[in-house]
Structures are given as C-alpha cells and as structure tokens.
Amino acid sequence: MLAPMQGLTNRALRAYFIEHVRPDVIFTEFIRVNTAPAGMSITAADQQDIAAEQGGVPLVVQLVGHGREALVSAARVAQKCGAAHINLNMGCPYGRIGGSQTGGGMLRYPEGLAEVIPALREVIAGSFSIKIRAGYDDPDQILSLLPLFESNGVDFLVLHPRTVVQKYDGVADHGVTTRVMRETRLPVIANGDIRCAADGERVLSESGVAGLMLGRGAIADPSLFLRLRGLKKHNPGPAERREELGRYLEEILTSYGRLFCGDTQVLNKVKEIIAYLEEPELAKPLKELRRARTVRAFKTALDELC
C-alpha cells in the first residue's frame, strides 16, 4: 500500500505511482471532517478527490476527525461521492490533530472509541479499516483495543508502531507489530521506517503481517515497490540511481505544472518530495534543486542531476 501523506500523496503523485509501480492499494490524503453542526461534513474540494479507485487501483478514503455524529455523517457523504473503502486516521501525531481528539489524539480518549467504531461499521457498506499508532504514550495500548476492533467488524489495521507522543523520533518498533499479530485475527499492515527492500523483507518475515504500507521510503524511491517484488535490484548503483531519480522528478515536475498554479506553488510541492531524499552521494545536485527559485532553474539543475 502507498501511505497517505498529507501534502504529498495528491492525485498527481498517486497517478505517477500507479503508472510506474502500481501499488496494490492507494490512499487519499486525509479528508478533514467538519465537526461544526452547520455546513458539510466534508468540503466540496475534498469530495472531488473521493472515488472507489484511481487508475484501476483501489482508493481508500481516509477520514480524520472526531465525534460519532460528525464521523458517521462524513462516512455517508464519502460513500455518496463514490467511496468503497474508508479508513479512520487514529495515528496522525502533528499539531492540533495529535494533540486534540483527532487523529492520534483519539487514543487519549479510548472510552469514546466504543461509540465511534460500531457506529462507523454500521454505516460503512464497503471495507472499513483503521490506521493507528501503537498508543498515545504507551506502546502497549493497541493490545487493549484489539477486542473492540475485532468485535465490530473492522476489516484490517494499518499499524505504525510508534506512540503519538514520539511523532517520528527514535525507531519504529516492529516488535510491537509482532505482538499485535500474535494477539489478533485481523489482517495487519505494517507501516513505519520501511526505507529499503531489506527493511520490508525483515518486517514481513519477523512479524508475519499481511502486507506493508510504504510512506517516506517510497516517496524517496518509488521503485521500492518493485524492489520488494523482486522486479528491480535492491541496491542500484550511483549512476542508475541518478537516472531513476532524474526521471521521477522530471515527470512529477510536469504533472505538478498541470495540477498547481505558478512556479512558487509547483516548486514548493516538488521540494516536499526532495525533503525525503537523504543520499550523501547526491548532496550537491540535490542542494541545487532545493535552491532553485524558478521552474526553469529547477530544470537546469535537474539536467545536472541526470
């Protein structure tokens, strides 16, 4: 699965992945749920991104919000817009989301989940999944929630084995993933710190999970999907890596030029991808790409990379 990453996995980037590496499942960026009594629970702009699939690949619509009524309303709206697969975000650790009752913040109020989860299952006609952290500040909290998820027909879990308060500090502890697998009959998808094929193979073999969700590792190297399938070598040489990266950024620059408006917005969005590239041997060309202030300058720097 391609992970939902706010500000990154827009429909243009998803289209790139579908065309070139074809994940088995893709996710929308999270869809914010309006908790105010008046107005739509999902904005008109977000509704345009909702569908059952994209390019023939199942598209999971991820909701982030809180409150039974608001979430139920949003699930109904999403399905009217064509959603066949709905995911509840219980993992986002950032800003007002992780620090409130929303996203990872839902884990601060586990008593409320006994109302939210069955209510969502009742109205969701298709698949209902949950993307979750191991806990708010206790990595064993997930174990206490498994009976609730199982008894209310959740279809699968996507587990990132850090706590919410950790954000992305330290290392994702897939020992937690393994413990969850021993305790639940639900399919579990492992997420977190899968940056190369060896990481993915290790998590699969040690935990026995049903699959992997690739986020930051895939943004840096879309071919990670192919490497895990044995269709590309695990560790490309410097020349091959430069060529792959150049083609990737060149195509994204073109598609972002159609989706976003003006050099500033296009470059800001492309540079969000470059922020995930941590390759010392490419430090100089990547620095030039980050310094570019116009699309023309970026293309010149990209020529140097290739």
Residue 40: pLDDT over 80: no
Give the model's confidence band at 102: pLDDT under 50 very low, under 70 low, under 90 confident, else very high: very high
Give the pLDDT of residue 241: 92
Domain residue spans of the chain: 11-228, 238-305
SS3 14: helix
Residue 97, token pair as written in the block: 């989301």
Residue 97: pLDDT over 80: no
Spell out the alpha helix ranges (H) of the chain: 11-20, 44-47, 68-80, 95-98, 110-123, 141-151, 174-183, 197-207, 216-220, 224-228, 238-259, 262-274, 283-291, 295-305
Q: What is the DSSP letter of 214?
A: B
Q: Flag the least confident range among 34-38, 43-47, 103-107.
A: 34-38
Residue 38: pLDDT over 70: no
Give the model's confidence band at 305: pLDDT under 50 very low, under 70 low, under 90 confident, else very high: confident
Looking at residues 158-185, what average pLDDT do you find?
96
What is the per-residue pLDDT across 214-262, written as a single tens digit (0 to 9) for each? 999 999 999 999 999 999 999 999 899 999 999 999 999 999 999 999 9
Please answer whether residues 177 and 207 qualify as being in contact, where contact means their C-beta atoms are separated by less than 8 angstroms.
yes
Q: Rounded to the nearest 10 degrees, what angle do helices 141-151 and 110-123 cross at?
A: 30
- Write 20-23 long-range contacts (CB < 8 A, 24+): 20/222, 21/222, 21/223, 21/224, 21/225, 21/226, 22/57, 22/225, 23/57, 23/214, 23/225
Give the pLDDT of residue 35: 79
Please answer whether residues 277 and 220 qualify as being in contact, where contact means their C-beta atoms are separated by less than 8 angstroms.
yes
Give the model's confidence band at 278: pLDDT under 50 very low, under 70 low, under 90 confident, else very high: confident
CA distances (Å), origin 188, targets 118, 174, 175, 211, 302: 19, 12, 13, 7, 39
Give the pLDDT of residue 306: 74
Q: What is the DSSP letter of 30?
A: P
Reference 25, options 5, 46, 4, 50; nearest CA is: 4
pTM listed for this prediction: 0.94
Residue 98: pLDDT over 90: no
Q: How far apart are the C-alpha atoms of 26 and 9, rounded to whole Å?
A: 9
What is the distance, to the nearest Å, from the Cα of residue 128 to the centroid of all Cα atoms in its chain?
16
Give the pLDDT of residue 279: 86
Question: What number does CATH give the domain 11-228?
Answer: 3.20.20.70
Average pLDDT across the chain, whole number = 94
